[in-house]
Amino acid sequence: MSDFNLGFVIFPGITQLDFTGPFEVLSRLGTPPSLSVPSKFPDVKTHVVAKTLQPVSSDRGLAFLPTDTFETCPALDLLCVPGGSGLMEALADSELVDFVGRQGRQATYVTSVCIGAFLLGAAGLLKGRRATTHWAYVDLLPLVGAIHEEGRIVRDGNVVTSGGVTAGIDFAFSVVAEVAGPEVAQAIQLGIEYDPSPPFDAGHPDKASAAATSLMVQRNESSHTAIRKALEKRAARGVP
């Protein structure tokens, strides 16, 4: 029996780093805090969950093999939902949304990366909650009953949402620190040499040039419109 079940929901068109960033950190939860102290979670089990066990391709063509289906996945202690360009189709997949809702209502931690927040919202898990998502989509959060709060990581109760793509790595460290202790989180950080020093300080509209921001707004426009329509369609049918 696992002493901590981690579950990552994947679907066609996910953004791989939304998934693999927190996966890399959280899957190391069994790291001991020191040479003399044993791990608090020596039997962590990581589940990669999809509709079937067939390979799932990311929005850049990288394929992943699920370990569990919606039917075989055990009760999760932590649920993580990534985003990606396949989100619109995922929102229309009632089996996927039902699985997220079912697991999210009993999990200790309910988490999302980037626009994966809208799958939590579609499952009814963000109603009245403070939340965040990718900066280009934060205005859509009220469509799932969420209250947008500025922040790379936003926590409301047991729900932890994070901003775009790389923010998933940071939220994962914050959860590890809470669950296993800061010593474990710091050991994992050192182990994967997470010491970011990007050549440009342009990772948020507050810092990026006007030209870069305009470009990214335009490139996200069609996806933004599609997600809005998908959420409004769900609302018109009387679902979250």
Catalytically annotated residues: 114
Encoding tokens for residue 118? 């809208």
- Neighbouring CB atoms inside 10 A of 12's CB total 19
Encoding tokens for residue 95? 């089996």
**What are the φ and ψ backbone dihedral angles of 181, each rounded to 5 degrees?**
110, 150
Buried b (16+ CB within 10 A) or exposed e, 44-81: bbbbbbbbeeeebbbbeeeebebbbebeebeebbbbbb
Encoding tokens for residue 139? 């205005």
Q: Which residues pair with 58 in a beta bridge?
A: 14
The CB-side HSE value for 230 (13 A sphere, CA atoms) comes to 22
Task: Please give the sequence-ordered ranges of beta strands (E in DSSP) within 23-157, or none if there are none.
Answer: 44-50, 56-57, 63-64, 68-69, 78-81, 109-113, 130-131, 147-148, 153-156
